[in-house]
A and B are shown apart, each in its own frame.
Chain A
Amino acid sequence: MADRHQQKTIKTTAFPYGVGIFLCSLALPGLLVAAEGNRVEKTFEAAPNPRVTVSNARGLILVRGWDKQLVHIVCSVMSPRVEVDSEVIPPSGPADKVHFSTHILDPLVSGKDQTADYSLDVPMGTDLEIRDTQGSVKIEKLQGDDATVETVGGAIVVSDFTGHLFVRSIGGNIEVIRAAGRVEAYSITGDLHLVSPATSKLRATTTSGRILFEGDFPDGGDYSLSEYSGDMDIICPPSASFELNAKTDRGKLENEMPITIRHQPATPLSSANSLFGTHLTGKATVSLKSFSGTIRIRQR
Chain B
Amino acid sequence: MDEIRRHRTAECDHFELELEAYMEGEVRPFVLAHLGECVFCKVVCEDLLALRTAAGELPLEGPSPAVWANVRAQLSAEAAFAEKEGAWSWLWQLDLFRRPVPVAAFACMLALGCWMTAPRNYPQLEASASLAASGGQPAAVRSMAFVSGGTGLEQVVRELEEAFKAREGSLAPDVKATYENSLSSLDVSIRECNDSLQREPDNSLAHEYLFAAYSQKAEVLSSALEIDEGR
Contact = CB atoms under 8 A, between A and B. Distances in A.
CB–CB under 8 A between A and B in the complex?
yes
Contact of A229 (B24, B174, B189): B189
B127 interface: no
Nearest to B196: A249
Contacts of B212: 205
A171 B196 CA distance: 26
Interface residues of A, number: 39
Contact of B25 (A70, A95, A133): A95
A133 B227 CA distance: 8
Interface stretch (A12-20, A117-125, A266-274): A266-274
* Chain A CB within 10 Å, residue with most, of B21, B23, B178, B181: B178
A241 to B, nearest CB: 26
Nearest to B26: A42
B25 A171 contact: no
Given A45-B27, A70-B27, A292-B192, A269 B205 contact: yes
- Majority DSSP secondary structure for residues of B touching A: helix
Given A267-B120, A270-B200, A291 B192 contact: yes
B196 A153 contact: no
A208 B192 contact: no
Given A42-B26, A88-B25, A229 B205 contact: no
Contact of B205 (A153, A208, A247): A247
B204 A134 contact: no
A92 interface: yes
A291 B190 CA distance: 11
A292 B189 CA distance: 9
Given A134-B175, A207-B213, A91 B196 contact: no
Interface in B10-37: 21, 23-27
B178 A170 contact: yes
Contacts of A247: 205
A228 B193 CA distance: 10
A249 B174 contact: no
B220 A188 contact: yes
Given A291-B193, A292-B192, A134 B172 contact: yes
B198 interface: no
Contacts of B182: 170-171, 188-189, 207
B185 A189 contact: yes
Interface string A219-243: 0000000001100000000000000
Interface string A245-289: 001111000000000000000110111100000000000000001
Interface in A186-221: 188-189, 205, 207-208
A44 interface: yes
A44 B27 contact: yes
Contacts of A29: none
Given A152-B223, A267-B202, A92 B25 contact: yes
Chain B CB count within 10 A is highest, among A205, A289, A291, for A291
A228 B181 contact: no
Contacts of B179: 152, 170-171
B188 interface: yes
A170 B217 CA distance: 10
Interface in B108-142: 120
Given A133-B175, A270-B202, A91 B24 contact: yes
A110 interface: yes
B194 interface: no
7 smallest A-B Cβ distances: which pairs? Answer: A88-B25, A188-B182, A171-B178, A153-B178, A43-B27, A208-B185, A228-B189
Interface of A: 42-45, 70, 86, 88, 90-92, 95, 110-111, 133-134, 152-153, 170-171, 188-189, 205, 207-208, 228-229, 247-250, 266-267, 269-272, 289, 291-292
